[in-house]
Amino acid sequence: MREFSFILLLISTIIPVIQAYKDRDKIYQLPFLYSMAVMVWILPTLLGVIDNKKLVTDSEYIRYCLFSVLCYWAAIVGYITYGNKRKPKVEVINAYDPDKMSRFLYVIMVISFGALIVMGGYDAESRNGGTYAVLLYPARCLRPATIMLLTLYLVKPSKDKMFFLIISVLFSLKIIIIDGRRSEVFNLMITIVFPLFFIKNIRVKRSLILPAVFVGVFVITVLPAYRNYSLKGNFSSLADISPTAVMASYVVGDNRNEVVDAARNVEVADLSGDYNWGITLYNAFIYQYASSNIFGAKFKEELMIPYNLDLVKLRDQHAKYDGDEYRYYLSPTGFAAVFFEFGYLGFILFFLFAIITKRYYLKAIRRDNISAIMFYCFFSTFILFSIYDSMLFIPTNIIMYLLVFVGARKFSRIHKKFYIMEKV
């Protein structure tokens, strides 16, 4: 049954990839992005531990695989069914001054650059709260600002836009090389590739799809080991890291593997019958924006709602050996995260998220609304995020993106509107 559940998930992810080989436009849509995310973040470990019943029991393995299949197909069904019976309607498109919007984005990017420079001075042990967490607010503005500016550059190139884009890419490379942030690698790819497609109709080559999977696996396995040294400035020890050994260790479930922990966490959550019922979404917002530096630790603590699901206690109760404990610092993985909130009904969140994504894709693919293209390009980064981290954190993380997006539009808006017939 372990093998069957794995093969079921594997086949599910292969289908959109095959479709993308036939139609490269699908590379920029949720089904393909979900397939790539599952292939990179989840399947290698599930394959590596498929025969290791001591590390992951049959019930843990099978439940996690089958629930992942359920969530995955809920998203696919939601995506392919939305918009099929929509009636065309007249849509209003506002006009914006691209130069004014660029100037607004320059200011945002300068503020983001400053925040990132200051954040770079913090040691690894000081990056979990305090002032560092406050600096994340302006730092997160850099992603949407960069995507929006690149979109404007592709429409109307200029030297000043290129200058800011180059600086932004250099900061992204710093975050990858020094901080070892895996998500930054994939976000940078979307930042560049998606605007090129929607503005210039430049498509990714089919021959790059399969290599992208192997590059992705390399990134998620090697960078965590890499940043253990790079964050401390101990670059001389990097030569001692064996990428092959690190990748092999990760695949077989060693080295604090997220997928192994997620499977165990889903098991104990199911045994308890307790779920958070959306509390995580609320607490994530409070944790991020009710800063204890500004409002005080007591005020922040009073706003938080106790979780119904105590994974620390449950993992301790069901521990199979010493050290088998809940690791709060590991990503829950997207499928497990919705299970913690709503149990088996969590698949509905993937269904709804896919519908929302399809709605914005349909607006962007028409290519007659630059604003819609900008929005979908930065929203696409959260498609991957919903798989490798948690969909429950998206509303909190997207707030800074929306502030940049809405602020840029309001600042550069021209009192002129276009009325067009929406295509279905």
Using a pLDDT cut of 90, give the percent of the chain over it.
64
DSSP state of 203: P
Q: Which pLDDT belongs to residue 418?
A: 58
Q: Quick one: how far is CA 350 from the chain centroid?
A: 14
Does 419 score more than 60 pLDDT? no
**How large is the average pLDDT for residues 364-374?**
91
Q: Which pLDDT belongs to residue 417?
A: 61
pTM of the model: 0.91
Q: Which of 314, 312, 310, 307 is nearest to 283 (CA)?
A: 307
Cβ pair 363, 372 in contact under 8 A? yes
User: 83 versus 209: which is more confidently predicted?
Assistant: 209
Q: Which pLDDT belongs to residue 39?
A: 95
276-334 confidence digits (pLDDT tens): 999 999 999 988 888 777 777 788 888 999 999 999 999 988 887 777 788 888 889 99
Q: Which pLDDT belongs to residue 126?
A: 62
Using a pLDDT cut of 70, give the percent of the chain over it.
91
Cβ pair 105, 408 in contact under 8 A? yes
> d(Cα 333, Cα 392) in Å, to the nearest integer?
11
58-94 confidence digits (pLDDT tens): 999 999 999 999 999 999 999 999 987 666 666 677 7
Q: What is the 3-state secondary structure (H, E, C) of 103-171?
A: HHHHHHHHHHHHHHHHHCCCCHHHCCCHHHHHHHHHHCCHHHHHHHHHHHHHHCCCHHHHHHHHHHHHH
Beta-carbon-side half-sphere exposure of residue 48 (alpha carbons within 13 Å): 20
Where does residue 319 rank: exposed (0-12), middle (13-18), buried (19+ CB within 10 A)? Answer: middle
Residue 124's pLDDT band (cuts 50, 70, 90): low
Out of 126-135, 216-225, 332-341, 399-408, least confident range: 126-135
7-38 confidence digits (pLDDT tens): 999 999 999 999 999 999 999 999 999 999 99
Q: Which pLDDT belongs to residue 329?
A: 82
> d(Cα 187, Cα 379) in Å, to the nearest integer?
11
**How large is the average pLDDT for residues 242-251?**
77
Where does residue 108 rank: exposed (0-12), middle (13-18), buried (19+ CB within 10 A)? Answer: buried
Report for 174-178, 209-213, 275-279: range of highest mean pLDDT = 275-279
Out of 15-19, 95-99, 154-158, least confident range: 95-99
Q: Mean pLDDT score of the chain, rounded to an integer?
A: 89
Residue 422's pLDDT band (cuts 50, 70, 90): low
343-359 confidence digits (pLDDT tens): 999 999 999 999 999 99
Cα-based distances in Å from 257 to 25, 224, 230, 249, 307: 33, 11, 20, 9, 24
Q: DSSP states of 279-343 as a string?
A: HHHHHHHHHHHS-HHHH-HHHHHHHPPPPS--HHHHHHHT-SSTT----TTS---HHHHHHHHHG
Q: Which pLDDT belongs to residue 142?
A: 96
User: 420 versus 381: which is more confidently predicted?
Assistant: 381
**Cβ-Cβ contacts under 8 Å for 122 (sequence gap 6 or more):** 132
Residue 144's pLDDT band (cuts 50, 70, 90): very high
Helix (H) or strand (E) holding 414: strand 413-421
